[in-house]
Amino acid sequence: MCFKPNILKFIIILFFIIMSCKSEKKEILAKVNDKKPNIVVIYLDDLGYGDLSSYGATELQTPNIDALAEGGIKFTNGYASSATCTPSRYAFLTGVYPWRNKKARILSGSAPLIISETQQTLPKMLKKQGYQTAIVGKWHLGLGSGNVNWNEKITPGPNEVGFDESYILAATQDRVPTVYIDNGYIEGLDKNDPIQVNYKKNFEGEPTAKSNPEMTTMKWHHGHNNSIVNGIPRIGYMKGGDAAKWSDIDMADHFLQKAQNYVKKHKENPFFLYYAMQQPHVPRTPHPRFVGKSGMGPRGDVILEADWVIGEFVKTLEKEGVLENTLIVFSSDNGPVLNDGYYDDAAEKLGKHDPKGGLRGGKYSLLEAGTRVPFITYWKGTIKPSISDAIVCQIDLLASLAALTGIEESTTDSKELMKTLLGKTDKGRDHLIIEANSKTALRSGDWLMIPPYKGTRFNKKVNIDVGILPKFQLYNLKEDVGQKQNLAEDKPEKLLEMIETFEILRGQKINKFKDN
């Protein structure tokens, strides 16, 4: 066989490029091969980009989360995959974009599991790498396969998609069933008082917020007028299970204790803990210790409560001697909302606080405040403190943590960005598709493009601009992070380039979108 000299040169260069990539990969893994680090993902619910003092809040102080941001990497372009919970969590745990799964939408409390038992997941991948895996907190990815009997083992659920242990609330704090589920079984259930859940109709004779408003201590604004538990009207109907009902004001302490106990019990070998906290989602029910502490009403109070909880949890890691061998990732499932269905003074007492941190939109929105969220990586002694503007997304944790623990995961949507997450490079993603209410947009470099969509631009109930217009939107986020100026008409070439990239990534022509 004989090669022309320039072909030979090309092959030699290629060989060296491949070899240097391989040795870079080894470098990430070097430390890890000594001892696999524990991995803890602390995931808040509806916390906004501007809700932390480390992200610019001046009216609220969050010293414990700030300590992670200041001692780790504070990402300024960190994204959730979606502007609502279920799709974001789906992407985070599977590494698959939520718009590839039609079921990845806000689920009711009785919806079936939307992750297939045969699908790859982050905890499954880590289990294969020798990790013990657990979730404590909010699930909201469905349970069972339809018609769950809540009085028996509830399966499939987190334990069937990769978690060795699970201690969860099924959906959200505002949805029934309002009970904790411990490895598939409702905790504290009295067999003589079986529990029933229905999302279509009420159980005969059971009070609801509509029939018995005098029984409610928190008033509903929109939705949230079905069964009443602990004086709080919820979404969905529930009967029985009295002894098993959770205490809303104790929820933060309760999950904290579970998370602390998990660390104490599993610290000898590597563990992955997904700590899915419920704050500051509605109903906001701070423990009396925090009531009134923020001066902003319950929304501010539960943020302070969450910050305290995180401080206690980090102390536990330290006391148990594992802090320096634990990578902590902190983020939120979607952006902020003030009134999400209850009268709780969130808007009225907001004062100068801006949960959006200068971004536009909010929860449910394709505009930045919907998906750009606080995103922090912290690893005492390993990560050098810095601020990174790299584009990173929670969906990337699957491929990245695979690399950290020594394997290469072949994924389409999840990008391997471990060096970025460890602060070894400032280079993040080139492109990212974000989602809100099944509609998608493209972030690419400094630019964001939202295709034309039919639908209501402004969600009056929650008072949020959801970012939908019947024409193209194009924003330069570097110069205009508040998305005030739509440049779609002024920058036709950029728009065209964005459309092309979007269509390639979505695998669909823009005019074929059914919502168009």
Measured between alpha carbons, how far is 189 from 182 in angstroms, rounded to an integer? 11
Q: Output 189 or 302, the one with its CB closest to ligand NG6.
A: 302
Measured between alpha carbons, how far is 120 from 515 in angstroms, rounded to an integer? 30
Given CA atoms 63, 58, 423, 431 in this order, what sign does their dihedral have? Answer: positive
The 3-state DSSP class for residue 248 equals coil
Options 54, 64, 331, 334; binder of Ca ion; rule CB under 5 A:
334
Q: Give the residue from 508, 511, 459, 481 showing the smallest Cα distance to 84.
A: 459
Beta pairing partners, 362 = none
Contacts of 149 (CB under 8 A, 6+ apart): none
Measured between alpha carbons, how far is 346 from 60 in angstroms, rounded to an integer? 14
Residue 482 binds to ligand NG6 (criterion: CB under 6 A) = no
Options 36, 258, 281, 419; binder of ligand NG6; rule CB under 6 A:
281
Beta pairing partners, 181 = 168, 186
Span from 12-20, 85-93, 201-209, 236-244 in contact with Ca ion (CB under 5 A)? 85-93
Q: Output 88 or 132, the one with its CB closest to ligand NG6.
A: 88
Options 41, 80, 85, 235; binder of Ca ion; rule CB under 5 A:
85
Answer whether 317's CB lies under 8 Å from 338's CB.
no
Residue 104 binds to ligand NG6 (criterion: CB under 6 A) = no
Quickly count: other Cβ atoms within 10 Å of residue 184's Cβ: 18
Greatest Cα pair distance in the chain: 90
Contact partner at residue 360 from Ca ion, ligand NG6, none, CB < 5 to 8 Å by partner kind: none
**Which amino acid is it at 384?**
K
Options 333, 340, 354, 465; binder of Ca ion; rule CB under 5 A:
333
Contact partner at residue 174 from ligand NG6, Ca ion, none, CB < 5 to 8 Å by partner kind: ligand NG6
Answer whether 176's CB lies under 8 Å from 209's CB.
no
Q: Output 45 or 344, the one with its CB closest to ligand NG6.
A: 45
Options 174, 307, 354, 435; binder of ligand NG6; rule CB under 6 A:
174
Q: Output 141 or 421, the one with its CB closest to ligand NG6.
A: 141
Residue 45 binds to Ca ion (criterion: CB under 5 A) = yes
Measured between alpha carbons, how far is 204 from 177 in angstroms, rounded to an integer? 17
Q: Output 272 or 364, the one with its CB closest to ligand NG6.
A: 364
Question: CB 334 → Ca ion: shortest distance, Å?
Answer: 5
Using CB under 6 A as the binding criterion, the count of chain residues that bind ligand NG6 stands at 17
Q: How is residue 474 written in tokens?
A: 């194009």
250-279 footprint of ligand NG6 as x/- string (CB under 6 A)? ------------------------------
With tokens 């018609």, the residue in question is: 147
Options 140, 258, 429, 439; binder of ligand NG6; rule CB under 6 A:
140
Q: Which chain residues interact with ligand NG6 by CB under 6 A?
A: 45-46, 84-85, 106, 140, 172, 174, 222-224, 235, 281-282, 334, 340-341
